[in-house]
Chains A and B, each alone.
Chain A
């Protein structure tokens, strides 16, 4: 059973450029969330996708956008890169919970290390 996979593993970009990161959720999961983890900090929630729509969003500017495909895989796009965007970008997946009570553990991928120079 494949877990969450992310590509690429590492990426180096220049300020002002655009970047696209990719995530495939764990088999059987249809909800994907993205997190940004700066060095020495805990992961920060960016947004969540379900049924190809953004369902929740954290405190991130519009430069951060995403997409989910019919096969549940997802992309994170960051425009006009800043030095401060250098971080580990993590993707997590779960089955959709919606408004029902309950718990699903989030399965995280290994992340994409983005360096902006």
Chain B
């Protein structure tokens, strides 16, 4: 599994876009980039995943650089309920997830 590097913490104003970066320079060609988040006292929740192309769903957008060495998770209009720890995971295994320490996102009013 690819080693990922994320900032320890970030702040974002409510209503603004939250852009969470992730470096995964060792990712191999068949490894996906997955994003999960964990709200306090809950289990992790799937957000989005991608291989090469940018992806968008109802929760977020995922932008992957052309060389696949980094990606950015975008929450377009952050709310207080988006305050959580966000994990970026580089893995072929969809069902054996290797979590790092993630980015603690604090959304403030």
Residues of A within 8 A of B (CB): 4, 31, 33, 35, 40-45, 48, 56, 58, 90, 92, 94, 97, 102-111
Which residues in A have their C-beta under 8 angstroms from that of B99?
35, 42-44
The residue in chain B whose Cβ has the minimal distance to the Cβ of A91 is B43
Taking CB atoms and an 8 Å cut-off, the chain B residues in 74-107 that contact chain A are 85, 87, 93-102
Query: Are A97 and B43 CB-contacts (below 8 A) given A41-B101, A42-B99, A43-B99?
Result: no
User: What distance in Å separates the Cβ of B22 from its nearest Cβ neighbour in chain A?
Assistant: 13
CB-CB nearest 5 A-B residue pairs = A108-B43, A42-B99, A105-B46, A43-B99, A103-B94
Report yes or no: B43 in contact with A104, Cβ–Cβ below 8 A: no
What residues on A are CB-neighbors of B44 within 8 Å?
43, 90, 92, 106, 108
User: Residues of B within 8 Å of A, CB-based: how many?
Assistant: 21
* A and B contact pairs by CB, cutoff 8 A, 30 listed: A31-B95, A35-B97, A42-B85, A42-B87, A42-B99, A43-B97, A43-B99, A44-B99, A45-B96, A45-B97, A45-B98, A48-B96, A56-B93, A90-B43, A92-B43, A94-B95, A97-B94, A102-B94, A103-B32, A103-B49, A103-B94, A104-B94, A104-B95, A105-B46, A106-B44, A106-B97, A108-B44, A108-B45, A109-B43, A110-B41
The CA of A106 and the CA of B46, in the complex, are separated in Å by 7
B85 closest partner in A (C-beta): A42
The distance in angstroms between the C-alpha atoms of A31 and B93, with both chains bound, is: 14
Within the complex, the shortest CB–CB distance from A96 to chain B, in Å, comes to 9
Chain B residues whose CB sits within 8 angstroms of the CB of A43 once the complex forms: 44, 97, 99
Indicate whether A42 sits within 8 Å of B96 (C-beta atoms), given known contacts A4-B43, A105-B46, A110-B41.
Answer: no
B95 engages A97 (CB within 8 Å): yes
